[in-house]
Chain A
Amino acid sequence: MKDTRRSRVVLGVLLAVALIMITIDYRGGADSPLRGLRGVGEAVFGPVERASAAVVRPIGNTVDAITDAPDQRRRADRLERANQKLREELRSSRLDSGRAQQLERLLGTAGIGGYKIRAAHVISAGQGLEDTVTLDVGSRSGVRPDMTVMGAEGLVGRVVRVGPATATVLLATDVTSSVGARLEDSKEIGIVQGRGRRGLGDGGATPLRFQLLDANAPLRAGQRLVTLGSQGERPYVPGVPIGVVERIDRPAGGLTRTAYIRPFVRFTSLDVVAVVVAPPKTDPRDAVLPPAPPSPSPGLTAAPSGKPSEKPSEKPSGEKRDDASGAPGDQSTRKPSSRD
């Protein structure tokens, strides 16, 4: 190799730069000076991702429809017909009607709980070991870090970073995610933790793990979980359905039981989701869980916020913030930006 000496120097320099960046970012944690770089990444790649997502979404839907089939061989016939129908839908470009239905269900769910939402599309997903996705809404749409993200069926995750037109969401299945949860019809609370990369850690059907705080509280398979709600409703608003207890591990001699949760949301095929921009005025308790649909009037809060032109978060979130023990400096920086 003729360039050994020079290329070694370059290699050394590049490796040193990489190591320095890792060190600075690792030691700095949440407020490391390199976060600015991520901001650059958001500004540069965000629009490109939005554009490319519009192009590739039909491809993803097709793959989705095909890979679903082997899961349910018993109903192969029905799925084949469904596949056929999906392809026809694709061909006649009636895809949007499907998404409108998703949105409608989403609005219904949000209406029952009294959440004010901002509908969004998933435009990209994280690489390597992390369970993150990007949404096509950002600070210009009133989205802020530490807001809950939900789908029509239940909890998706929380916003961790916001760019001008994109937002990064940490999914509930990520290992670093932990959510306060409550068993339905009881006051027993615990923590739901992710098990990594869409359940890669151990079996795809139960990518979440639940531990009760009270070791003696009754817990059985089939019980459902909703979010408990964080202090000040951030990052998690109360009452969002999470999933069903699938099985319970009782280690011999152990003090804690671990329940494995099958989530309501399918994390492998997220498309239409919603960012909760304002929490409900009262805790909806178990009302949002599926078989409690006494034909509520969802028009009051959710329907207007579904319109894209509206800025729904303005007033109620402002009220909420006052009693939410947010830092005063936080408010002053946030208010002007939500007005533009």
Chain B
Amino acid sequence: MLNAPEPSATGRNVMTVLVLVVALILQVSVANRLPLPGGVTPDLVLLTVVALALVNGSLTGMVAGFCAGLAADIIPPADHTLGRYALVYCLIGYVCGIASTEMDRQSLVPFLAVAAGALAGTVLYAVTGMMLGDPRASWTIVSRMVPLQVLYDVIASPFVVWAVLRATRRYERGERTRKDRFSVPAARYRAMSGRGPGL
């Protein structure tokens, strides 16, 4: 199992939590305050969850997604119905984890996967808002926000994926000896993300 009682597993879990906390803090205190055109900001937490899920599989993805979402629901300036981000990020983490095993390892496919994850996450969050009758998730606002949000997410994704892989790299090595299937996407990702920020 993924979280087998091994020293590297606990280390990786700790590192995953650390990465998520850093992403959350960066999200609320840096990214959300950037005066970007359109008033939309990239969703670093969603990108982090997608990256973790693509590397570590669906179980890690959804647990990390749920925890990150719950934290995003209660971190101070949050003012929406509690549990919405937990639901959305959990689902996105699961789906991206499933997708990671069947993904074609072409150089562009993981990029598209991150973009698709960002799109799905943004739309899903807006849909939960609409279902709850949240006046903030009205059609005029959402239809303007979603394309811009996905664009910003795609622009930010190489940096986030690279940072996440840098941070979790040490703990994947131990896994590679143990489990070949999972190491393939991780290695590919590492190779890809090495080029990513230079683009």
Contacts and interface: CB of A to CB of B under 8 A. Distances in A.
Interface of A: 1, 3, 6-7, 10-11, 14-15, 17-22, 24-26, 32, 34, 37-38, 40-42, 45-46, 48-49, 52-53, 56, 59-60, 63-64, 67, 122-130, 132-134, 160-161, 163, 166, 168-170, 174-176, 196-202, 204, 268-269
Contacts of B119: none
Given A129-B141, A197-B145, A122 B33 contact: yes
Q: Which of A18, A63, A123, A176 has most B Cβ within 10 Å?
A: A18
Contacts of B198: none
B66 A198 contact: no
Interface in B83-102: 83-87, 90-91, 94, 97-98, 101
B161 to A, nearest CB: 20
A14 B83 contact: no
Q: Which of B25, B135, B136 has most A Cβ within 10 Å?
A: B136
B82 to A, nearest CB: 4
Given A7-B62, A11-B94, A19-B83, A41 B1 contact: no
Contacts of B73: 21, 37, 41
B29 A6 contact: no
Interface string B116-141: 00000000011011001011111011
Q: Which of B32, B35, B129, B141 has most A Cβ within 10 Å?
A: B35
29 contacts: A7-B58, A7-B59, A10-B59, A11-B62, A11-B94, A14-B62, A18-B69, A21-B82, A22-B87, A25-B81, A25-B83, A26-B81, A34-B82, A34-B83, A40-B74, A45-B25, A49-B75, A49-B76, A60-B33, A64-B35, A125-B29, A125-B33, A126-B28, A127-B28, A129-B137, A129-B141, A132-B77, A166-B76, A168-B77
A126 B77 contact: yes
Contact of A124 (B37, B62, B77, B81): B77
A197 B29 contact: no
A25 B85 CA distance: 13
A325 to B, nearest CB: 26
Nearest to B78: A126
A166 B28 CA distance: 14
Contacts of B112: none
B30 A60 contact: yes
B5 interface: no
A239 B78 CA distance: 29
A163 B62 contact: no
Interface of A, helix, strand, loop or mixed by DSSP: helix
Sorted nearest first, the 4 A-B pairs with minimum C-beta distance are A41-B74, A21-B83, A125-B32, A18-B87
Contacts of A127: 27-28, 32, 41, 43, 45, 72, 77-78
Q: Which of A40, A127, A166, A198 has most B Cβ within 10 Å?
A: A127
B125 A128 contact: yes
B74 A199 contact: no
B77 A201 contact: no
Given A19-B83, A22-B83, A22-B87, A197 B141 contact: yes
A56 B78 contact: no
B155 interface: no
A45 B75 contact: yes
B144 interface: yes
A159 B169 CA distance: 42
Nearest to A45: B75
Given A49-B29, A52-B25, A124-B76, 8 more contacts: A7-B58, A11-B90, A19-B87, A125-B77, A127-B41, A129-B125, A130-B79, A202-B144
Given A60-B30, A127-B72, A22 B81 contact: yes
B1 A200 contact: no
Contacts of A7: 58-59, 62, 94, 97
B73 to A, nearest CB: 8
A198 B39 CA distance: 6
B78 A130 contact: yes
